[in-house]
Amino acid sequence: MPNTIFGIRSSVVSKTPKNERNMISWKNMKNTRRLNNKQILLMMFILAAIFIVLSLCLFFFRILPRLNSQGGFFDTTGNERKHHILVVGQADNSAFLNQVFEGASSLSEQFNSVVEFRAPSLQAENTSLQSLIDYAACVNCDGIIAYVNSQVTSLKKPVKADGTEIPLITIGHYVAEIPQISFIGNNYSNLGRQLAIESEEIAKRSDRTIVVVSGNSSIPNYGNMVNNFVTYYRTAGIKDYEILDKSEKENIERIKEVLRDPEVKKPSIVCLTEEDTINVVYVLTSSSFAHKTEVLGFGENETLEIYLKKGILSKLVSLDPGKMGRTAMMELFEYRTKGYANSYISADIRVRTSK
């Protein structure tokens, strides 16, 4: 019942002591922290579980289908393959190499092999050919097909972990110092004649033909190529042509002189090397003569394919990459079974036009 003091009614209000309220607040905070810590631990556990699951998925779906406990490789159908072959090269030749890879892969079942293609996809990511060869050695592959460009001067012998030599076949540019069992590339004498045949119509339509082989005619192989080229031109009755075999700089200046000559109405240019082809298209694209000059180029560079599509190059002669891949596979396994292979193999050529 309410108390009355001096006529004023008052009620008794229950109050919690201050120190008791602080104790309750501290306990609540402690409980909240425990709860937060449990939530963090639970989240970390969930993330760890997700990571483990993803790692297992990668292992079972990407790695395990390729390798069994004895080291045997599997193709995409799950059939076991005994041998592992790598096709390697750099970014500027990746499109050409991909066709080499397809050619090699077409014989993979016949030779009980898995063929792997490794090349950087972008110039910015480009790695040295030696690094790619070293990778092939680290994975203990059974054979390497490597594209060698003009900048490569030597390569170390690829060797497995147990000291066994890995057979190496090179394509592209021949370098005698590379420890290759076979090289698949140009037969220079035949190539000179083929380039002359493919450029015959272009030369006959023009009133001046420039044949570019910068500083290479003194090299025996290129000397044979030029001799066979000139022999065919003489046989075909082509007279109004000029061979440029000085330095790149001197040849470019001479090309510009001819293009600026008002008496030359229909010029044409025939390039006998990949480097000269690239230099010529750069000269043409920086001038007003690009679409009035017919050009036959030689090479497997992706840049040249772009200029072919644009019409800067009228024709592009290159080696047949698919057949090179198939030939390389046959040579690798002839070497594995017989202990020897052909040291030099002439590659077939292919010809593409801008139209």
Strands 315-319 and 349-353: antiparallel
Strands 3-5 and 8-10: antiparallel
Q: Is the dihedral of CA 309, 311, 312, 315 positive or negative?
A: positive
Angle (deg, nearest 10), helices 274-285 and 302-310: 40
* 188-319 and 80-180+321-347 share a CATH fold: yes
Q: Which of 63-72, 207-216, 241-250, 300-309 has the lowest mean pLDDT?
A: 63-72
The pLDDT score that the predictor gives to residue 77 is: 46
DSSP string, 78-140: S-EESEEEEEE--GGGHHHHHHHHHHHHTTTTTTTEEEEEE--SSGGG---HHHHHHHHHHTT
Which CATH superfamily groups domain 188-319?
Response regulator (3.40.50.2300)
The residues with which 83 forms a beta bridge, in sequence order, are 113
How many Å apart are CA 98 and CA 101, to the nearest integer? 5
89: tokens are: 């090269």
The pLDDT score that the predictor gives to residue 125 is: 59
Residue showing tokens 């699951």: 53
DSSP string, 208-226: EEEEE-TTTTTSHHHHHHH
Nearest to 90 by CA among 152, 136, 139, 167: 152
- The pLDDT tens digits for 217-251 are 667 778 889 999 999 999 999 989 999 999 999 99
How many Å apart are CA 130 and CA 94, to the nearest integer? 16
Residue-range domain boundaries for the chain: 20-64, 80-180+321-347, 188-319
DSSP string, 234-303: HHHT--SEEEE-S-HHHHHHHHHHHHH-TT-SSEEEEESSHHHHHHHHHHHHTSTTTTTSEEEEE---HH
**77 CB contacts (<8 Å, ≥6 apart)?**
none
Nearest to 100 by CA among 320, 295, 255: 320
Angle, CA 258 vertex, CA 256 and CA 262 arms, to 5°: 115
Quickly count: other Cβ atoms within 10 Å of residue 256's Cβ: 14
**56 CB contacts (<8 Å, ≥6 apart)?**
none
Nearest to 137 by CA among 121, 115, 157, 117: 157
Examine the pLDDT at 29 and tell me if it is beyond 60: no
- The pLDDT tens digits for 156-192 are 999 998 899 999 999 988 888 999 999 998 788 889 9
Examine the pLDDT at 126 and tell me if it is beyond 80: no
The pLDDT score that the predictor gives to residue 173 is: 82
Quickly count: other Cβ atoms within 10 Å of residue 134's Cβ: 14
The pLDDT score that the predictor gives to residue 117 is: 92
Angle (deg, nearest 10), helices 220-236 and 188-205: 40
* CATH 3.90.180.10 for domain 80-180+321-347: no
